Amino acid sequence: MFENLETLSPDPILGLMAAFNKDKNTNKIDLGVGVYRDESGQTPIMNSVLEAQQLHHQTESTKAYIGPPGTPRFNELSREMMFGSEHSALTDRRVAGVQTPGGCGALRVAAELIKRASLQTTIWVSNPTWANHRPLLGNAGINIKEYAYYDNDTRSLNETELFTALDSVPAGDIVLLHGCCHNPSGVDLEQSHWETVAQIANKKGFIPFIDLAYQGLGESLIKDSIGVRILGEACAELIVASSYSKNFGLYRERVGSLQIVSPNTKQSNVVQSQLGSVVRGIYSMPPSHGAAIVESILGDERLGKMWRKELESMRNRINLLRTELASGLSDETSRDFSFIKTQRGMFSFLGISAAQVATLQENYAIYMVDSSRINVAGINDTNIEYFIASMKSVLSEG
């Protein structure tokens, strides 16, 4: 039967990882997949995670099933991290949620739940958005449309077109927004933008859905979740998918969470039961190990403090690299790259052509996504000069 299927080309982001690993060039630089790297180019396990893991090994007493929603404590801590413990959605008991296999699992469970609720719903994604949003949500059978977001000319938010587009979203549709560290552009919404989004959502009757995959890697844990906090207060319904891959470095453990705000507790209980049933019908229940580590860290004062310090140094390194890249590239080439400094998170578009991206890969062994999205964290003191010099020669070739 499977002879009817065709071989597919590699995933645009994951395919780069394989190509990079095969490359023998000793100067090679990986600016592709969104994985944090330290100054030595490694993605080490955070010390807080190592400690929590050891503790977990000593104290774990069973490998019995944890059930479709995951542990109540993990869900509670996840909500507190995204909303803040005093948020009215929490104190009013209006949030239902599940522990998921990564942020991807959260996005997909949300899509399946949306489909159960309405077959007519469209999910609106930003133009551009993360390459895996369409497959993750669309493969659930949901219609996807785009709204304007990034301005290629100014390399910043296209505020006017964004709000015009949101103003035309039909009632009952879903609008997916990036909570912080927009992937792929690095262009984030500010507090006033979130307030406007809330107003339009209430006026038009669409439901906001926030993908919070990089909390803590932009400005701070609180500032990066300002959109969640504002919309959770202003809107009767809100969907939030979060990931612990990047801020805890738990990529391969697959830890995420899906939290949904409802108008009241009664409705929230319905959502909770539906979520459990969706999960049971896809993968039955989430893996436990990574989530147990997150639970121990967020639930322990000392470990929590240690983790927040480590996260802060990751964030500071990314923001310092942004400053260095912006001035280095602007000084050495005839272009203005100052936008890199003002954007946030791991990603920015360099704004070069696909042909120039291909030349950087073929002639200089510098790997990035075709769209010219770079992972800023792939730069370090050892490779920054080579990167800037390579960009200079590729740009001067025209």
Question: Quick one: 96 or 111, whose CB is closer to ligand LMR?
Answer: 111
Write the Ramachandran bin of 316: left for phi over 0, alpha for psi from -120 to 50, otherwise beta: alpha
Kindly state the number of chain residues that form the binding site for ligand LMR, as judged by CB under 6 A: 6
Let me know if 194 is a catalytic residue. no
User: What are the respective helix, strand and coil percentages of the chain, to the nearest 5?
Assistant: 50, 15, 40
Burial class (CB in 10 A: 0-12, 13-18, 19+), 107: buried
Binding of ligand LMR by 135 (CB under 6 A):
no
Helices (H), ranges, the chain: 14-22, 47-59, 72-83, 88-91, 102-117, 133-138, 159-167, 191-204, 226-234, 265-282, 289-298, 301-332, 339-342, 354-364, 384-396
- Candidates 194, 211, 224, 307; catalytic one: 211
Out of 36, 74, 124, 130, point to the residue binding ligand LMR (CB under 6 A). Answer: 130
Out of 20, 30, 31, 33, point to the residue binding ligand LMR (CB under 6 A). Answer: 33
- Candidates 124, 173, 246, 307; catalytic one: 246
Question: Quick one: 132 or 196, whose CB is closer to ligand LMR?
Answer: 132
Out of 13, 82, 298, 306, point to the residue binding ligand LMR (CB under 6 A). Answer: 13
Shortest distance (Å) from residue 33 CB to ligand LMR: 4
Shortest distance (Å) from residue 369 CB to ligand LMR: 8
| 54: DSSP letter | H
Binding of ligand LMR by 202 (CB under 6 A):
no
- Number of residue whose CB is nearest ligand LMR: 34
Distance of alpha carbon 107 from alpha carbon 109, whole angstroms: 6
Binding of ligand LMR by 361 (CB under 6 A):
no
Question: Quick one: 33 or 176, whose CB is closer to ligand LMR?
Answer: 33
Question: Quick one: 124 or 367, whose CB is closer to ligand LMR?
Answer: 367
Residue 249: both structure tokens together = 């470095």
Residue 67: both structure tokens together = 């059930």
Of 291, 290, 254, 224, the C-alpha closest to 81 is 224
Let me know if 130 is a catalytic residue. yes
Compute and round to an integer the Cα radius of gyration of the chain: 21
Of 286, 190, 219, 228, the C-alpha closest to 81 is 228
Contacts of 227 (CB under 8 A, 6+ apart): 177, 179, 180, 189, 194, 197, 210
Let me know if 246 is a catalytic residue. yes
Binding of ligand LMR by 34 (CB under 6 A):
yes
In whole angstroms, what separates CA 114 from the centre of its chain? Answer: 20
Distance of alpha carbon 256 from alpha carbon 82, whole angstroms: 12
Shortest distance (Å) from residue 128 CB to ligand LMR: 11
Shortest distance (Å) from residue 111 CB to ligand LMR: 16
Binding string, 87-126, against ligand LMR, x = CB under 6 A?
Answer: ----------------------------------------
- Candidates 30, 124, 130, 173; catalytic one: 130
Task: Please report, for residues 6, 16, 157, 250, 385, the alpha-carbon distance to residue 9 in angstroms, rounded to integers and kept in the order given.
Answer: 10, 12, 32, 27, 33
Shortest distance (Å) from residue 241 CB to ligand LMR: 12
In whole angstroms, what separates CA 386 from the centre of its chain? Answer: 29
Shortest distance (Å) from residue 276 CB to ligand LMR: 26
Shortest distance (Å) from residue 132 CB to ligand LMR: 5
DSSP H or E segment with residue 374? strand 373-375
Out of 132, 220, 274, 333, point to the residue binding ligand LMR (CB under 6 A). Answer: 132
Question: Quick one: 132 or 333, whose CB is closer to ligand LMR?
Answer: 132
Question: Quick one: 68 or 378, whose CB is closer to ligand LMR?
Answer: 378
Considering only residues 168 through 187, tell me which ones interact with ligand LMR, judged by CB under 6 A: 183
Binding of ligand LMR by 70 (CB under 6 A):
no
- Tally Cβ neighbours within 10 Å of residue 38: 13
List the catalytic residues.
130, 211, 246
Query: Which residues here bind ligand LMR, judged by CB under 6 A?
Result: 13, 33-34, 130, 132, 183
